[in-house]
Structure 1
Amino acid sequence: MKGAQSMKSSQLTAIIRRLEAMVEDKDNEVQVRRFEKNGEERCLITYDTKAETFELEEHETNQVYKFDDIDLIAIEIYELLQD
């Protein structure tokens, strides 16, 4: 590791911050965020404040997954943005 170079900020931390903002926003019952890579939408995330659950819709496969754990959905989003 070179001392002169600054460490790249964590992509996972940035994802978690966006998810936490969805949880903290009490204006709407349902929060929606899109996650893209190079201008291409990879997934759509919906947060239901009443049920306290996230839903991830993967665009490539059109599959929908439900999560009640912010860490697990963050890892799934991170993996979708890697390839």
Structure 2
Amino acid sequence: MENSQLVAIISRLDAMIKSAEDEVVSRRFEKEGEERGVVTYDPKENAFELEEISTKQKFQFDNIDLAAIEIYDLLDY
């Protein structure tokens, strides 16, 4: 059985929450060397924002699970 990609994504998002004191932090998500999205976490709003690189669309999430699912879908296509 291979490791869960969803658990890995949630771990990265959780690390963002823990490392963000008063500053916005961001992480890039790639698949096979191709950047698919950039996620930022704003501790003041307690929210994530995902920008899809290919479409330039931005999505906001106040729930870590919903953000992780959207990132998973972005990386899986």
2:70 is matched by which residue type in structure 1? Answer: E
Partner of 2:48: 54
Separation (CA, whole Å) in 1 of partners of 2:4 and 2:22 = 28
> Per-residue CA shift, 1:31-66, capped at 9, x if unaligned?
100000000000000000111010000011100011
Q: Of 19, 23, 26, which aligns to 1:25?
A: 19
Separation (CA, whole Å) in 2 of partners of 1:40 and 1:46 = 18
Q: Of 7, 12, 15, which aligns to 1:13?
A: 7
| TM-score, normalised with respect to structure 2 | 0.95
2:64 is matched by which residue type in structure 1? Answer: I
Alpha-carbon distance, 1:28 to partner: 5.1
Could you say if the C-alpha distance between residues 26 and 73 of structure 1 is closer, same or farther in structure 2, counting changes exceeding 3 Å? closer
| TM-score, normalised with respect to structure 1 | 0.89
Partner of 1:4: none
Alpha-carbon distance, 1:26 to partner: 3.5
Equivalent residue pairs, number: 77
Separation (CA, whole Å) in 2 of partners of 1:11 and 1:68 = 21
SS of the residue 1:54 aligns to: strand
Larger radius of gyration: 1
Q: Which runs of 5+ in 2 are unaligned?
A: none
SS of the residue 2:73 aligns to: helix
Deviating above 3 A after TM superposition, structure 1's stretches of 4 or more consecutive aligned residues are none
